[in-house]
Amino acid sequence: MSATIDRILSKAANGERITFDEGVELMACHDLHKLGRAAHAVTSRLHPEPYRTYNIDRNVNYTNVCAAVCDFCAFYRKNHDADAYVLSREELYQKIEETIALGGDQILMQGGMHPTLKLEWYEDLLRDLRSRFSSVNLHAFSPPEIWHFHKINKLPLEDVLRRLKAAGLGSIPGGGGEILVDRVRKELTKNKALTDEWLEVMRVWHRLGGKSTCTMMFGHIETAAERIEHLDRLRQLQDETGGFTAFICWTMQPGHKMADAPAAGSFEYLRVQAISRLYLDNIPNIQSSWVTQGAKIGQIALFFGANDMGSLMIEENVVASAGTVHYLTLEQIKASIREAGWVPRQRNVFYELIDERPPTAPTAAADRVGTTREVNHAESGRSLPVVN
């Protein structure tokens, strides 16, 4: 077993694609150190630059009304519920203005699958926000939402996406992916896009020239092989379109109808993220999920396949509704990157650097905040300073 795992890890670390069966073999490996070293070798090969990135954006849930029923979701409401809402334009303007004031360049805007709002409502919303905030990227509407627009408006999917893009849609978040295996989706959710539908939204968007992120929420009812099936479907689509900029995974936060489900902990999170880095050889970036794991595990994730600390996330509602609340300030995010030995740099959703500071050597960055010692990252061949 150990020799087999070593062979697969060596293959992935050297840039060779691992097979589905080899991915399943890795899911049975619980040698966290070994998986982490291999994943870090891949990350270091793909990202030899002296910096690690972060983004400043805000999760805005324009409505909590949703026609879908997901066992893991504590956020959604039905139209008739007393606390159901659709945000007013004034509330949205205020949230975006606050984000810009904090240096943000993006709004991650998702809602539920509202049963009565028509496509024209979303087009008008995008046009209005685009005209008022031309510098802000609208990273909006998960694939299940867009599939819902397509169904309730009785319009071809491509027409829906063309109209949203023309109205100002900048990119699509990978929300609602959970596990892209229909057995899992049918058991966990009702009235929500199935696997091929989720992927088709991304496929058509990419063909229109759009970019998007992709995700995986694990640690519930899926099997180890189904986790690899999920990664394999993403890898296949990326081969076809090249439209995914980044992958983000996180553990399910027990709550709502799944309150008694055992939580997958940080060990499992780091293990699965490392395997994801090894399997997804064609997706360039992986984000740490400090929002669900906390600051220190989020920082350690930079050595388990992640090259990005994700977003400052000025506002987050869905994970918080499930009872998990981790907040970091911008300085804490930057400090996490510095302490790990890299220079923190701000990027946009396309992973273009948007801060004004040019890259500097890690040693210089670390020296600004404290004394350093050298730690040899054998997989990358680099010696990185760590703040004491």
Distance CA 284, CA 274 (A): 14
- Tell me the CB-side half-sphere exposure of residue 88, using CA atoms within 13 A: 3
Distance CA 12, CA 6 (A): 10
Q: Does residue 123 sit in helix, strand or coil?
A: helix
Which residues on neighbouring strands pair with residue 387, listed in sequence order?
Answer: 372
Say whether 229 counts as a known binding-site residue.
no
Structure tokens at 281: 């050889």
- The label of the residue with tokens 């296949």 reads 236
Distance CA 113, CA 195 (A): 17
Judge whether 258 and 71 are in contact, CB under 8 Å: yes
Structure tokens at 118: 């028509």
- The label of the residue with tokens 């008694």 reads 260
Say whether 212 counts as a known binding-site residue.
no
Distance CA 269, CA 260 (A): 19
Structure tokens at 28: 């049975």
Say whether 149 counts as a known binding-site residue.
no
Say whether 380 counts as a known binding-site residue.
no
Say whether 158 counts as a known binding-site residue.
no
Say whether 66 counts as a known binding-site residue.
yes
Q: Which amino acid is at 346?
A: Q
Say whether 29 counts as a known binding-site residue.
no
Distance CA 44, CA 143 (A): 31
CA distance between the termini of the chain: 38
Structure letter (DSSP) for residue 242: -
Closest listed residue to residue 60, CA positions, set 26, 89, 30, 28: 89
Region of residue 58 (phi > 0: left; psi between -120 and 50: alpha; otherwise: beta): beta
Say whether 88 counts as a known binding-site residue.
no
Distance CA 50, CA 84 (A): 46
Residue ranges of the binding site: 66, 70, 72-73, 142, 178, 289, 311
Detail the residues annotated as belonging to a binding site for (3R)-3-methyl-D-ornithine.
Answer: 142, 289, 311
- Which residues are known binding-site members for S-adenosyl-L-methionine? 72, 178
Task: Please enumerate, by residue number, every residue annotated as part of a binding site for [4Fe-4S] cluster.
Answer: 66, 70, 73
